């Protein structure tokens, strides 16, 4: 394809490169082609338009550029560590000490005493001395027009590249030649319409300015344009995949919102819905009205009120004559939903069935019959809902709570309980085809919006980003061993007030046994501090049979246990409004999302709730950030965002195989704004645009090329 000849030309054929340097560029910087070099972006820029004098430096300046001379290069033997190199930098107004802890050889070879240079870095004050470690250095050379810039880009070089003359200066020289030679080849890969609608800079201008910025404003626009482009094609690929792998499945359109929904809304709703709940219900209603299966994830922090949204969605199903099913991962949760649903549905004259393992035969039979003949309207249960013996008269809606606890197959198993429905063909004949129940999945694991959009490629996402009013924040504090007695005293007071307490021990993955020991020791020590019969201390851990675990949880729920000790097996979503304290032992060992989830177990009632993070005496820097974030905020999305920044998308999603491509310039964590815009544009284009329009020909060619390149990255979930 001729359009790509320039882009695909081997870098070897660029002036001043040749086979040897080409080899090095490939090995050290993954630059194989002209295109790769154009996309080898600077990692930072030095602003030479504002030159500071040494005398002007203050401790507040994050970065500064200075022009002057170096002298007095010295290799100083380290007392403990390796040697470091120091030099004095002067500009006639004072002395700045330059220092290198590594790469001294290269600096010594390339830095000539007395030569005028620009340096860039962050000045640090030590008493009266001012120091700059590992400054960026650029020798001044008036004759070298390529490198005589106001804003100087620096590239992520390596020592080998530096040695071969391919330091930032060398790369700049290559780029200048390439940009000059390729002027007519920098075609735009976005259509004029997209460029106009999204107010983007042209690609040619962006590529020139990312490497040789005219000024900082232009640089910003160039950066935005190139990030947009990266996200756009990625999102277009997702849109494409969604359309191909998730063809709209037939479903029954729920056209009316009628008697049951309206009666409940006007007469029985126990509280005013939050705006977020209302918005999500609206989004759901829009989906349900279509003759295609809804596939919507409802995401919202613990306690935001997902259950009510689920229930009201069931009412819409009922208003259209359909049954609903809601599946929860554990019996405790199912039980909890069953009792709320019964409470809400009773006054409406609707009947709720309950299906879990180990039920009495007669009880189960009554529910099974009722679902089959339609006398029951809603089914609540665990995996027991998806076994073969369960049949529905007309299941129109399936809801899965805490979806991350289920596998994809389990999530979809309820769909098999849907039924056939009529479809009219173009020629007017009617045939019967499989119809799928509408599908809602709910999760309390907050995934930052930006990431959610990408990882849930096949789901539409609704977010309940608001808690019901009147919740007072959970007071969170970090405490260490010396304060343990105080903590116990505090617990005692809360128990006297009638409250209950969780104490959680970390799960150390390599050693189930150690966890168990730590928790058991904790349990025993708590039993001594809080003796029977005045206090009841209970315990759940991963080695217990599920029935025992649930029985113990149930005792806690009923208030028969004051303090519940556990490893991290406390069930998600369990609602014990009377529990007011969450103590997390060795809190530094927990991940941020996990800490947040655990804290969400308390603060569900009318009482002031507390989260006490007990820490050992050693903490990593990351642990400190995590604990700090917990103390500072309770917003699950903010926490998720911090967590994502700490861990990166791969780890955050629990797998390196997150299916995210490596972005060259864009950053999925930090560039949410551009990502949103690019995603909207890509999905809009997929729906309304036409790749075969003349104005889209170059974009089409580029996209095909992009898809071929991405082919190896595997599927996005």
Tell me how far, at minimum, the Cβ of 442 lies from Mg ion, in Å. 7
Tell me how far, at minimum, the Cβ of 573 lies from ligand ADP, in Å. 6
Asked if 308 is part of the footprint of ligand ADP (rule: CB under 6 A), the reply reads yes
Hunting for tokens 């999302």 — which residue is that?
A: 593
Tell me how far, at minimum, the Cβ of 308 lies from Mg ion, in Å. 10
Tell me how far, at minimum, the Cβ of 576 lies from ligand ADP, in Å. 11
Tell me how far, at minimum, the Cβ of 471 lies from ligand ADP, in Å. 8
Which residues, 6+ apart, have CB-to-CB distance to 628 below 8 Å? Answer: none
Asked if 303 is part of the footprint of ligand ADP (rule: CB under 6 A), the reply reads yes
Pick 414 or 442: Cβ nearer Mg ion: 442
In the chain, % helix, strand, coil (3-state, to 5) comes to 45, 20, 35
Pick 117 or 464: Cβ nearer ligand ADP: 464
Of residues 437-456, those binding Mg ion (CB under 5 A): none
Tell me how far, at minimum, the Cβ of 399 lies from Mg ion, in Å. 11
The C-alpha atoms of residue 685 and residue 15 are separated, in whole angstroms, by 40
Pick 345 or 678: Cβ nearer Mg ion: 345
The C-alpha atoms of residue 695 and residue 698 are separated, in whole angstroms, by 8
Cβ atoms 546, 357 nearer than 8 A:
no
Pick 251 or 443: Cβ nearer ligand ADP: 443
End-to-end CA distance of the chain: 32
Tell me how far, at minimum, the Cβ of 48 lies from Mg ion, in Å. 57
Strand locations in 534-609 (E): 537-540, 563-566, 579-584
Of residues 493-552, those binding ligand ADP (CB under 6 A): none
Binding at 169: pick from Mg ion, ligand ADP, none (beta carbon under 5-8 Å per type): none
Pick 258 or 577: Cβ nearer ligand ADP: 577
Neighbours of 239 (CB within 10 A): 18
Binding at 383: pick from ligand ADP, Mg ion, none (beta carbon under 5-8 Å per type): none
Binding at 457: pick from Mg ion, ligand ADP, none (beta carbon under 5-8 Å per type): none
Side-chain half-sphere of 161: how many Cα atoms within 13 Å?
19
Buried b / exposed e along 550-574 (16+ C-beta atoms within 10 A): bebbeebbeeebbbbbbbbbbbbbb
Q: Which two tokens stand for residue 42?
A: 């600077």
* Residue closest to ligand ADP (Cβ): 305
Pick 309 or 563: Cβ nearer Mg ion: 309
The C-alpha atoms of residue 135 and residue 144 are separated, in whole angstroms, by 21
The C-alpha atoms of residue 294 and residue 440 are separated, in whole angstroms, by 7
Cβ atoms 371, 296 nearer than 8 A:
no
Q: Which two tokens stand for residue 111?
A: 């830095």
Cβ atoms 678, 199 nearer than 8 A:
no
Pick 418 or 573: Cβ nearer Mg ion: 573
Which SS3 state, helix, strand or coil, does residue 443 take? Answer: strand
Asked if 306 is part of the footprint of ligand ADP (rule: CB under 6 A), the reply reads yes
Instruction: Count the site residues for ligand ADP by CB under 6 A.
Output: 17
Pick 444 or 455: Cβ nearer ligand ADP: 444
The C-alpha atoms of residue 587 and residue 604 are separated, in whole angstroms, by 21
Asked if 305 is part of the footprint of ligand ADP (rule: CB under 6 A), the reply reads yes
Cβ atoms 465, 273 nearer than 8 A:
no
Show the site string, 453-492: x = touches ligand ADP by CB under 6 A, - = not. Answer: ---------------x------------------------
Neighbours of 127 (CB within 10 A): 5
- Indicate which single residue of 300, 303, 573, 636 sits in contact with Mg ion (rule: CB under 5 A): 573
Would you give the distance in Å from CA 327 to the centre of its chain? 25
Cβ atoms 122, 99 nearer than 8 A:
no
- Indicate which single residue of 239, 304, 315, 378 sits in contact with ligand ADP (rule: CB under 6 A): 304
The C-alpha atoms of residue 176 and residue 212 are separated, in whole angstroms, by 8
Pick 522 or 573: Cβ nearer Mg ion: 573
Among the candidate windows 139-147, 302-310, 380-388, 480-488, which touches ligand ADP by CB under 6 A? 302-310
Helices (H) and strands (E) in the chain, counts: 24, 25
Tell me how far, at minimum, the Cβ of 252 lies from Mg ion, in Å. 27
Tell me how far, at minimum, the Cβ of 635 lies from ligand ADP, in Å. 15
Pick 328 or 665: Cβ nearer Mg ion: 328
Which SS3 state, helix, strand or coil, does residue 32 take? Answer: coil
Binding at 468: pick from Mg ion, ligand ADP, none (beta carbon under 5-8 Å per type): ligand ADP
Asked if 274 is part of the footprint of ligand ADP (rule: CB under 6 A), the reply reads yes
Pick 174 or 444: Cβ nearer ligand ADP: 444
Binding at 295: pick from Mg ion, ligand ADP, none (beta carbon under 5-8 Å per type): none
Burial of 23 (0-12, 13-18, 19+ CB in 10 A): middle
Of residues 175-234, those binding ligand ADP (CB under 6 A): none
- Indicate which single residue of 302, 565, 598, 675 sits in contact with ligand ADP (rule: CB under 6 A): 302
Tell me how far, at minimum, the Cβ of 308 lies from ligand ADP, in Å. 5
Burial of 428 (0-12, 13-18, 19+ CB in 10 A): exposed
Among the candidate windows 297-305, 432-440, 562-570, 613-621, which touches ligand ADP by CB under 6 A? 297-305
Pick 9 or 277: Cβ nearer ligand ADP: 277
Tell me how far, at minimum, the Cβ of 470 lies from ligand ADP, in Å. 7
Asked if 705 is part of the footprint of ligand ADP (rule: CB under 6 A), the reply reads no
Asked if 575 is part of the footprint of ligand ADP (rule: CB under 6 A), the reply reads yes
Binding at 216: pick from Mg ion, ligand ADP, none (beta carbon under 5-8 Å per type): none
Among the candidate windows 295-303, 362-370, 414-422, 477-485, which touches ligand ADP by CB under 6 A? 295-303
Cβ atoms 674, 666 nearer than 8 A:
yes
Binding at 478: pick from ligand ADP, Mg ion, none (beta carbon under 5-8 Å per type): none
Which SS3 state, helix, strand or coil, does residue 21 take? Answer: helix
The C-alpha atoms of residue 556 and residue 545 are separated, in whole angstroms, by 17
Hunting for tokens 């949760």 — which residue is that?
A: 333
Pick 446 or 506: Cβ nearer ligand ADP: 446
Torsion of CA 113, 116, 121, 126, to 10 degrees: 50
Q: Which two tokens stand for residue 319?
A: 């208003």
Binding at 273: pick from ligand ADP, Mg ion, none (beta carbon under 5-8 Å per type): ligand ADP
Hunting for tokens 């039979």 — which residue is that?
A: 365
Instruction: Count the site residues for Mg ion by CB under 5 A.
Output: 1
Tell me how far, at minimum, the Cβ of 645 lies from ligand ADP, in Å. 25
Strand locations in 32-181 (E): 44-47, 51-52, 64-76, 84-90, 95-100, 116-121, 123-126, 129-133, 136-139, 151-154
Hunting for tokens 């991405």 — which residue is that?
A: 710
Pick 14 or 333: Cβ nearer Mg ion: 333
Provide the binding-site residues for ligand ADP, judged by CB under 6 A: 271-274, 277, 300, 302-308, 444, 468, 573, 575
**Contact residues for Mg ion (CB under 5 A)?**
573
């Amino acid at each position: 394809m001729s359009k790509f000849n320039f882009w695909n030309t081997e870098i070897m054929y660029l002036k001043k490169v040749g086979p040897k340097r080409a080899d090095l560029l490939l090995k050290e910087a993954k630059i194989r082609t002209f295109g790769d070099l154009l996309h080898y972006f600077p990692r930072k820029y030095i602003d030479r338009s504002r030159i500071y004098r040494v005398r002007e430096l203050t401790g507040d300046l994050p970065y500064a550029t200075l022009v002057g001379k170096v002298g007095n290069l010295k290799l100083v033997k380290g007392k403990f560590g390796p040697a470091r190199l120091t030099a004095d930098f002067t500009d006639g107004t004072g002395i700045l000490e330059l220092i290198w802890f590594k790469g001294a050889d290269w600096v010594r070879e390339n830095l000539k005493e007395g030569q005028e240079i620009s340096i860039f870095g962050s000045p640090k004050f030590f008493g009266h001395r001012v120091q700059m470690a590992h400054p960026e250095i650029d020798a001044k050379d008036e004759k070298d027009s390529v490198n005589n810039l106001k804003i100087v880009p620096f590239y992520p070089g390596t020592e080998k590249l530096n040695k071969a003359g391919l330091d930032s200066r060398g790369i700049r020289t290559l780029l200048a030649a390439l940009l000059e030679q390729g002027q007519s080849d920098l075609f735009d890969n976005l259509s004029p319409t997209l460029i106009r609608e999204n107010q983007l800079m042209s690609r040619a201008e962006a590529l020139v300015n990312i490497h040789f910025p005219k000024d900082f404003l232009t640089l910003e626009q160039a950066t935005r344009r190139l990030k947009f482009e990266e996200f756009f094609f990625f999102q277009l690929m997702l849109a494409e995949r969604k359309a191909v792998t998730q063809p709209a499945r037939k479903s029954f359109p729920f056209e009316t919102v009628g008697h049951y929904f309206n009666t409940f809304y006007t007469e029985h709703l126990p509280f005013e819905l939050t705006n977020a709940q209302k918005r999500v219900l609206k989004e759901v209603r829009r989906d349900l009205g279509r003759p295609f299966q809804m596939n919507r994830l409802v995401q919202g922090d613990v306690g935001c009120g997902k259950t009510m949204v689920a229930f009201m969605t069931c009412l819409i199903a009922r208003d259209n004559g359909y049954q609903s099913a809601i599946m929860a991962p554990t019996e405790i949760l199912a039980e909890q939903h069953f009792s709320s649903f019964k409470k809400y549905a009773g006054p409406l004259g609707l009947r709720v069935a309950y299906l879990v393992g180990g039920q009495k035969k007669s009880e189960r039979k009554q529910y099974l019959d009722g679902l089959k003949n339609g006398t029951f309207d809603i089914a609540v249960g665990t995996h027991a809902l998806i076994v073969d013996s369960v049949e529905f008269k007309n299941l129109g809606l399936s809801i899965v709570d805490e979806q991350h606890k289920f596998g994809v197959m389990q999530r979809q198993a309820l769909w098999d309980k849907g039924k056939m429905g009529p479809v009219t063909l173009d020629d007017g004949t009617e045939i019967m085809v499989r119809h799928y129940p509408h599908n809602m999945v709910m999760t309390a694991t907050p995934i930052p919006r930006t990431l959610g959009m990408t990882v849930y490629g096949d789901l539409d996402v609704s977010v309940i980003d608001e808690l019901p009013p009147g919740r007072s924040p959970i007071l969170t504090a970090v405490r260490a061993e010396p304060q343990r007695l105080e903590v116990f005293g505090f617990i005692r007071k809360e128990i006297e007030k009638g409250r209950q307490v969780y104490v959680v021990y970390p799960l150390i993955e390599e050693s189930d046994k150690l966890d168990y020991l730590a928790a058991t020791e904790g349990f025993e020590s708590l039993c001594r501090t809080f003796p029977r019969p005045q206090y009841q201390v209970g315990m759940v851990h991963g080695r217990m049979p599920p029935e025992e675990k649930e029985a113990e949880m149930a005792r806690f729920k009923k208030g028969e246990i004051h303090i519940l000790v556990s490893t991290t097996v406390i069930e998600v979503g369990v609602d014990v409004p009377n529990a007011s304290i969450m103590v997390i032992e060795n809190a530094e060992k927990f991940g941020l999302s996990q800490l947040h989830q655990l804290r969400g177990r308390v603060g569900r009632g009318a009482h002031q709730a507390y989260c006490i993070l007990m820490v050992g005496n050693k903490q990593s820097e990351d642990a400190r950030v995590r604990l700090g974030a917990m103390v500072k905020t309770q917003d699950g999305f903010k926490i998720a965002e911090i967590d994502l920044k700490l861990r990166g998308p791969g780890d955050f999603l629990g797998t390196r195989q997150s299916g995210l491509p490596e972005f060259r310039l864009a950053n999925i964590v930090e560039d949410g704004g551009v990502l949103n815009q690019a995603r909207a544009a890509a999905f809009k284009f997929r729906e309304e645009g036409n790749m075969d329009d003349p104005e889209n020909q170059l974009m089409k060619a580029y996209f095909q090329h992009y898809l071929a390149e991405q082919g190896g990255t595997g599927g996005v979930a």
